[in-house]
Amino acid sequence: MRSTSKINSSLSKRRRLSFIKKVVYIAIFALFFISLLILGLTNDRIQVKSVTVSGNLSVPKEDILNIVDKNLDEKYLFIIRTDNFFLLKRNKIREEILDGIKKIQSVDISFSNLNTVEVSILERVAKSIWCDGTSANKKCYFMDENGFIFTEAPDFSSNPFPEYLGLFKGGPIGQSYFNSVRFKEINQFFETLDQIKLNPVYFNALDEHQYEVQLSFGGKIILDDKRDFDKDIINLQALIDNGYIKLDSGSLKKIKYIDLRFGNKVVLKAN
């Protein structure tokens, strides 16, 4: 019995020693592998040495570089910098640029070689303006073709852009004036009013469903979202073609409002 016990004890010790050796070997291999990985990721050959920016017309290059440089200076495990080909946080940089600089519509980040990062941007183009009122000291902001408000607009002596009001009470930058599909419909309606010589001044969203269009001669058009705008244009054109609305300045000045909220029944109120 004692002999058997000694044998079992000896086998147990051997197994423990064998297990310890395996753990040591694995630890040594892991440390060796990690060391090689760190050496590889910190190799000067793959480190970012320059950043180029293209596509910026009015956005200062420095504003973009500041965001990129901040992310290049970060570290993994407090040791490995992210300023290399493999660890560069492209998605994070892209999101921070888009979030921090609303005038930028899209960002593409790529490498021209192992050491050079290329940041290519597309700026938003002003197609219209949103204003916080009609007073002389009103503030206006540029909107792109989708109704996205991206920066403050200067004071215009003669406004060359379609003008929109309503919906927002606070700072509008970063918000959209309706969704892109609805805004394009509204914008097309506004432009068509100008084409048929009704001389719109601004489009005012009283809320998400009720709207008014101020005309240059003092009258206004009242409408809502229950009908397609193209049907409202057809009704307006019919009134013009049939002589109910005359386009000379004297006749237009007499119009108090044109109410398009009742389908094919258009209410025309004149002074």
What is residue 49's three-state secondary structure? coil
Phi-psi region at 72: left, alpha or beta (left = phi > 0; alpha = psi -120 to 50): alpha
- Section 190-198 average pLDDT: 94
Shared domain check, 170 and 80: no
Domain encompassing residue 21: 1-41
Shared domain check, 166 and 197: yes
Rounded to whole angstroms, how far apart are CA atoms 209 and 111?
48
Shared domain check, 216 and 134: yes
Question: What are phi and psi for residue 269, nearest 5 degrees?
Answer: -110, 125
The pTM score is: 0.78
Residues 114, 50: contact at Cβ < 8 Å?
no
Shared domain check, 253 and 141: yes
Shared domain check, 30 and 163: no
Shared domain check, 224 and 165: yes
96, 99, 101, 102: CA torsion to nearest 10: 160
CATH number of domain containing 118: 3.10.20.310
Shared domain check, 144 and 103: no
How many degrees, rounded to 5, is the angle at CA 15 between CA 12 and CA 16? 90
Q: Could you read off the pLDDT of 237-252 as tens digits, one per residue?
A: 999 999 999 988 899 9
Q: What is the CA radius of gyration of the chain?
A: 33
What is residue 129's three-state secondary structure? strand
Mean pLDDT across the chain, nearest whole number?
Answer: 86
Shared domain check, 20 and 106: no
Lowest mean pLDDT among 82-91, 132-141, 244-253, 255-264: 82-91
The percentage of the chain sitting over the pLDDT mark of 90, rounded to a whole number, equals 57
